[in-house]
Homo-oligomer: A and B are copies of this chain.
Amino acid sequence: MVKKIQEISSLIRQRKHFLCVGLDPDLGKMNAELLSQEKPLVRFCEEIIEQSKDIAIAYKINIAFFETLGSKGYQQLEELMELLPKECFLIADAKRADIGNTSKQYANFFFDHLNFDAITLHPYMGVDSLEPFLQYENKVSIILALTSNPGAIDFELQEMKTGGALYKQVISTFSNSPFSDRIMFVVGATRPQEFVQIRQWIPHHFLLVPGVGEQGGDLESTIRNGRNGGGGLLINVSRGISYPAAEKGKTRVELIRERVVHYARLMAID
Please give the residue numbers on chain A whose beta carbons come within 8 Å of chain B beta carbons, in ascending order.
24, 26, 62, 64-65, 67-75, 77-78, 93, 95-103, 105-106, 108-109, 113-114, 122-129, 144, 147-156, 158-162, 166, 169-170, 173, 210
Contacts and interface: CB of A to CB of B under 8 A. Distances in A.
A99 B149 contact: yes
Contacts of A162: 158-159
Contact of A156 (B95, B101, B106, B126): B126
Contacts of A98: 64, 93, 95
Contacts of A126: 147, 149-156
A158 B155 contact: no
Given A127-B151, A160-B161, A97 B122 contact: yes
Contacts of A125: 144, 147, 149, 151-152, 155-156
Given A109-B68, A124-B123, A149 B95 contact: no
Contacts of A73: 74
B155 A169 contact: yes
Given A160-B159, A162-B158, A109 B70 contact: yes
